[in-house]
A = this chain, B = another copy of it.
Amino acid sequence: MRPSGRAADEMRAITIETGFTKHAEGSCLISFGETRVLCTASVEEKVPPFLRGKGSGWVTGEYSMLPRATHTRGSREAAKGKQSGRTQEIQRLIGRSLRAVTDLEKLGERQITLDCDVLQADGGTRTASISGAWVALRLAVNKLMEAGAIKDDPLTAKIAAISCGIYQGTPVLDLDYIEDSNADADANFVLIEGGQIAEVQATAEGATYDEEGLLRLLRLARIGADRIFAAQDKATK
């Protein structure tokens, strides 16, 4: 029995409010239950040094938690003077995931930065970030296409991320904070519309798992991803 009363393969409510901030070329506030992340896409007409003059664009991600997004207040990384290993790991994952569905040449020599700022955390902040970042990216690319700056759509597919884990012996979908803190294994999947896998990060905590366990988690992840793709569709239509 899950603390929230959800079925093992039941996701939390997904809501996506687009246009949450007005300056960004694309933005949304995505919620997976009580987890809420503000995702913005910022277009800049320049690329990192290693890409200059190569006719290719770049997509990158940044991630942060507001100090009181969590149950107890965390220190502000800007005040500590550095980003934690966890933050950097998540930032790299966001960028890599979004690039997996972007044709960088079609994007042209420009960079889109996806900022994912967690306003409230209740488990699954990195997966909500990736899922929401895609919406912000889609909106920003739409704007570039409408303005004629880009001709062919550089986005090749939708992408969604979702966490699964083994909680009290049962594989469950979309862990909230209580489940996440007590899970025996914790996996994040980044899945592409159509069935392909972009990334798997599965970690045993306490207990380990076997091949069959991994596959069960993957199957749950597919169920969750379909729910997210539907919400993304609705938000960007």
Which residue numbers of A lie inside 8 Å of B, CB to CB?
Answer: 20-24, 27, 34, 36, 38, 40, 42, 44, 62, 64, 66-73, 76-89, 91-92, 96, 100, 113, 115, 117, 119-121, 187, 192, 195-204, 208-211, 213-215, 218
Assess the A192–B218 pair: CB atoms within 8 A.
no
Assess the B204–A211 pair: CB atoms within 8 A.
no
Assess the B89–A23 pair: CB atoms within 8 A.
no
Would you mind naming 21 contact pairs between A and B with Cβ atoms under 8 Å apart? A22-B34, A22-B120, A23-B70, A23-B121, A38-B66, A42-B73, A62-B79, A77-B78, A78-B78, A78-B80, A81-B81, A81-B82, A88-B89, A89-B92, A195-B210, A196-B204, A197-B208, A197-B210, A198-B204, A199-B204, A200-B202
CB distance from A51 to the nearest CB of B (A): 16
Assess the B209–A196 pair: CB atoms within 8 A.
yes
Q: How far is the CA of A84 from the CA of B68 in the complex (A)?
A: 21
Assess the B83–A23 pair: CB atoms within 8 A.
no
